Structure 1
Amino acid sequence: MSRLVARPAVPADYEHFARLFVELDTGNPVLPRDRWESAMARDTLFLEARGELDARGEVVAYAYVQPLRGVGYVRHVVVAPSHRGRGVGGAVMQAIAAHLRGRGCTRWCLNVKPDNTAAVRLYRSVGMEHAYTMTTFHLAWDAVARLPRPSRPVVARPARPSDDAALEAAFALLPGQVAEARGRGGLVLLCLVDPTAPDAPPLGFANFDAFLPGAFPFRVAAPGLAAPLLDAIRPHAPREPGALLVTVEDDDALVSALRGVGAAVQLVGAHFRGGIPRDG
């Protein structure tokens, strides 16, 4: 009889990650080994099915989580197809909850495809509820020119640590979310501001990953501010492909604007959040 054991990732787990990541079916490429080791491995848990006397067993699931300030952002939950329907998903969530409680988190959140009924049922069973909808667009660079433009002056610049609190307040980002992204390295963090009002709240924020290439979070105070923020991203983007992914969260007006210039929907997700259950 096997038992499920959760353990932290080690560098040799990259092959397990690469094998299981594709089960998310997001359309995103698998991170190369060096990027996984530097940016993800430290916050990844693997679940093994072990025999009673086994020191190691078969890797049947993994979870990638980001412990922020009081909130854990659960980025990936993947169970191997061969072990679905056996309660492994529940064991993964228990392991995540224990890990996050140990990091001082009392709440957690994640994103899930709304039609993944088994996953939605699992997340509701641990106290999470739907908060908002998010849409990932495949946006061609030439479509950016067709977006509306702001009438006021705006400037995009690198987001500094001193901007973090204002960005979190202006765009309902999680506490510590911007700092966590900065700490991972390899990402471009941009802040959109009004140069004539330096003390005013920021007008936009983007976290751009050139590997995808894609921006998430991508937040603007109004749809007309998306174009200058995208303009600022473009110098950091690879020359090919001639498009990027833009994830819009809880912003129907921006969704409408991107649809209006022909952006294609790659993925629709539901954001769930709730309190982490107490141990036992």
Structure 2
Amino acid sequence: MSRLAARPASPADYDHFARLFVELDTGNPILPRDRWESALARDTLFFEERGEVVAYAYVQPLRGVGYVRHVVVAPSHRGRGVGGDVMRAVAAHLRGRGCTRWCLNVKPDNTAAVRLYRSIGMEHAYLLTTFELPWSALERLPRPSRPVVARPAQPSDDAAIEAAFALVSGQVADARDRGGLVLLCLVDPATPDAAPLGYASFDPFLPGAFPFRVAAPELAAPLLDAICPHAPRPPEAVLVTVEDDDALVAVLRDTGATVQLVGAHFRGEIPAAG
């Protein structure tokens, strides 16, 4: 039996979250208390050992797939098998929510975590890169030759967006339900019923876009144009996370964007209990 006790988050756990979140070392700011309570707490598990909070996991149960967003073990408890205990508890939690598969992002050089995820059946699927892109660089991005329009993504768009960009089913609706995000869909006005040309979930707090997906690199510029009015001032740059798109990575590098973070996306079937 695991030596850890797992429990759902409560509003009183915000300080534990803030203390442990920085261990992810993503460069992102800590969410304020109200945003954490409204958007993350409901899907966060805390883990205690003899009454001490030593780890947490933030997990999104989507339609059959659990997206494991954060797994953090306190530095004082690393190297003791706590991560494995956390993932077994997360697996049980997700099975209870009807999920049969799971996925997550991890830094490729986090060898202990990569080894753990492989040991529970996950496989590397693709790389993702988070860029810090100066807003001034938009003028250097290539532009599409045809007119395109960015508009708010509506619930009726969700299935088409997820199909066009290989997102997890339910991911767009989940982002909308959590609040605080700007969801934009890029379309060809001449064929409004065709597959979407781009999608972004923009968080003004960071400010950053993830997912940020486009059908071709030259479509990034109009999608970023649409994001810009929603960005806070005075930040002079935006974070853009590019997943499994070498062409767009190359374009953003050429504009002078700097790499903030490189991650590896892992996924697989959730192991059976026992």
The two structures have a TM-score, normalised by structure 2, of: 0.99
Measured against aligned partners, the alpha-carbon deviations of 1:149-183 in whole angstroms (never above 9, x if no partner) come to 00011000000000001001100000000000000
For 2:41, the equivalent position in structure 1 comes to 41
1:208 aligns with 2:206: no
For 1:193, the equivalent position in structure 2 comes to 187
What is the count of residue pairs matched by the alignment? 273
Q: Return the alpha-carbon distance in structure 2 between the equivalents of residues 161 and 94 of structure 1.
A: 33
Q: Give, in angstroms, the shift of residue 272 of structure 1.
A: 0.2
Q: Secondary structure at the match of 2:201?
A: strand
1:249 aligns with 2:243: yes
Q: Secondary structure at the match of 2:92?
A: helix
What residue ranges of structure 1 are gaps of 5+ in the alignment? 51-56
For 1:69, the equivalent position in structure 2 comes to 63
1:184 aligns with 2:187: no
Q: Secondary structure at the match of 1:3?
A: coil
Q: Give, in angstroms, the shift of residue 253 of structure 1.
A: 0.3
Q: Secondary structure at the match of 2:227?
A: helix
Which residues in structure 2 correspond to 1:123-162 (within 5 Å)? Answer: 123-162=117-156
Q: What is the Cα-based RMSD across aligned positions, in Å?
A: 0.7
For 1:22, the equivalent position in structure 2 comes to 22
For 2:79, the equivalent position in structure 1 comes to 85
Q: Secondary structure at the match of 2:4?
A: strand
Measured against aligned partners, the alpha-carbon deviations of 1:27-49 in whole angstroms (never above 9, x if no partner) come to 00000000000000000000000
Measured against aligned partners, the alpha-carbon deviations of 1:73-105 in whole angstroms (never above 9, x if no partner) come to 000000000000111000100110011001000
For 1:269, the equivalent position in structure 2 comes to 263
For 2:88, the equivalent position in structure 1 comes to 94
Q: Give, in angstroms, the shift of residue 241 of structure 1.
A: 1.0
Q: Secondary structure at the match of 2:185?
A: strand
Q: Return the alpha-carbon distance in structure 1 between the equivalents of residues 217 and 69 of structure 2.
A: 27
List structure 1 segments (4+ residues) > 2 angstroms apart after TM superposition: none
Q: Return the alpha-carbon distance in structure 1 between the equivalents of residues 12 and 163 of structure 2.
A: 40
Q: Secondary structure at the match of 1:31?
A: coil
Q: Return the alpha-carbon distance in structure 2 between the equivalents of residues 216 and 225 of structure 1.
A: 16
Q: Return the alpha-carbon distance in structure 2 between the equivalents of residues 241 and 210 of structure 1.
A: 10
* Identity within the alignment, %: 84
Q: Secondary structure at the match of 1:37?
A: helix
For 1:226, the equivalent position in structure 2 comes to 220
Amino acid at match of 1:163: D
Amino acid at match of 1:26: T
Measured against aligned partners, the alpha-carbon deviations of 1:256-279 in whole angstroms (never above 9, x if no partner) come to 000010000000000000000001
Q: Give, in angstroms, the shift of residue 3 of structure 1.
A: 2.5
Q: Return the alpha-carbon distance in structure 1 between the equivalents of residues 102 and 3 of structure 2.
A: 26
1:117 aligns with 2:111: yes
For 1:54, the equivalent position in structure 2 comes to none
Q: Give, in angstroms, the shift of residue 240 of structure 1.
A: 1.6
Q: Return the alpha-carbon distance in structure 1 between the equivalents of residues 59 and 273 of structure 2.
A: 18
Q: Secondary structure at the match of 2:143?
A: coil
Q: Return the alpha-carbon distance in structure 1 between the equivalents of residues 261 and 13 of structure 2.
A: 28
What residue ranges of structure 2 are gaps of 5+ in the alignment? none
1:164 aligns with 2:185: no
Q: Return the alpha-carbon distance in structure 2 between the equivalents of residues 113 and 198 of structure 1.
A: 38
Amino acid at match of 1:30: I
Q: Secondary structure at the match of 2:140?
A: coil
Amino acid at match of 1:190: L
Amino acid at match of 1:105: C
For 1:10, the equivalent position in structure 2 comes to 10
